[in-house]
Amino acid sequence: ASRRAAAIARRLTRVARDAVAAQVDLLGELDSIAGDGDHGIGMLRGLNAAADAVETADVGAGVRELLGGAGDAWSERAGGTSGALWGAAVAELGRSLGNPDHFTAEDVVAAVAAASARVAEVGGAGPGDKTMIDAIAPFRDALAAHVQAGEDLAACMVAAATAARVGADATAAMKPRLGRARPLAERSVGHPDPGATSFWIIADAIARDAVG
Ligand code: ADP
Ligand code: MG
Ligand code: MG
């Protein structure tokens, strides 16, 4: 089970990192409108750290240890608000999944819900605050609904990634109520939130990889 867990974790971190690397300038530009412009580079640093942690993990490490190590490395090396939140979310995914021999689509739904709750707990944001939560919550809800409807996990991921994108796009009309973008909130109206945008970019890349 642990070799398979390592292969999955390696693939997920690589797919996510490549997707962010391809959009690193866009994410930086979005963050420079009302923030400090480091979102692309911060996400890339975090994902590289997560990928390194997975590569160098003990051979016997299970999902919990792999994702715990990846999350810790992400928040340590990325810095910034999004690094702390993504690091906490990834570690929570690992805690929720644990180390079973096999996990189901329902286990993935539960892990995504736990990670989403962790982001809300650590960051204190709710829907409509113009943060990554506005992409994560629709992703979580669509994933649960499609799994409940009995679709296979790859199809559910595609539907969830689409919901994340719709949620991220909708942040363009919002004013940030939290985080570094708040003082320049007015300036960000008309532009989507950087963290919501990187979330859908990652979700979309993972979904497309899962479909094959
Ligand atoms: P920093 O703002 O520290 O430079 P980043 O630029 O990497 O960090 O990330 C900014 C993103 O973090 C925002 O676009 C938003 O999505 C997310 N964010 C900021 N504060 C919060 C919060 N309290 N809860 C959830 N997400 C947040
Ligand atoms: Mg920033
Ligand atoms: Mg910063």
Rounded to whole angstroms, how far apart are CA atoms 114 and 210? 21
CB of residue 183 inside a 6 A radius of ligand 1: no
Q: What is residue 89's three-state secondary structure?
A: helix
Look at residue 184 and tell me whether its pLDDT is greater than 80.
Answer: no
Going by CA atoms, what residue is nearest to atom 27 of ligand 1? Answer: 131
CB of residue 124 inside a 6 A radius of ligand 1: yes
Greater confidence (4 vs 109) lies with 109
Look at residue 99 and tell me whether its pLDDT is greater than 80.
Answer: yes
Mean pLDDT of 28-38: 95
Q: What is the CATH number of the domain that holds 144?
A: 1.25.40.340
Look at residue 182 and tell me whether its pLDDT is greater than 90.
Answer: no
pLDDT band at 155 (very low <50, low <70, confident <90, very high): very high
pLDDT of residue 5: 85
pLDDT band at 3 (very low <50, low <70, confident <90, very high): confident
Average pLDDT, the chain: 95
pLDDT of residue 76: 97
Q: Quote the Cα angle for 146-21-210, to 5°.
A: 30
Which range of residues forms the domain containing residue 36? 2-211
Q: What is residue 104's three-state secondary structure?
A: coil
Q: Which atom of ligand 1 is nearest to the CA of 124?
A: 23
Q: Ligand 3 centroid to 120 CA: how many Å?
A: 19
Ligand nearest to the CA of 32: 2
DSSP code for 124: -
pLDDT band at 135 (very low <50, low <70, confident <90, very high): very high
Rounded to whole angstroms, how far apart are CA atoms 212 and 208? 6
Number of structural domains (the chain) is 1
Question: ipTM for the complex?
Answer: 0.99
58: left (phi over 0), alpha (psi -120 to 50) or beta: beta
Rounded to whole angstroms, how far apart are CA atoms 1 and 132? 32
- What percent of the chain lies above the pLDDT cut of 90? 85
Tokens, residue 20:
């962010």
Look at residue 104 and tell me whether its pLDDT is greater than 90.
Answer: yes
pLDDT band at 72 (very low <50, low <70, confident <90, very high): very high
Read off the pTM: 0.96
Mean pLDDT of 10-23: 97
Instruction: Please report the sign of the dihedral spanned by the C-alpha atoms of residue 14, residue 16, residue 22, residue 28.
Output: negative
Per-chain residues with Cβ under 5 A from ion ligand 3 = 36, 38, 80
Instruction: Please report the sign of the dihedral spanned by the C-alpha atoms of residue 52, residue 56, residue 59, residue 62.
Output: negative
Going by CA atoms, what residue is nearest to atom 13 of ligand 1? Answer: 195
Beta carbons within 8 Å of 56's beta carbon, 6+ residues apart: none
Q: Say if residues 108 and 143 touch (Cβ distance below 8 Å).
A: yes
Mean pLDDT of 124-139: 97
Going by CA atoms, what residue is nearest to atom 22 of ligand 1? Answer: 123
pLDDT of residue 1: 55
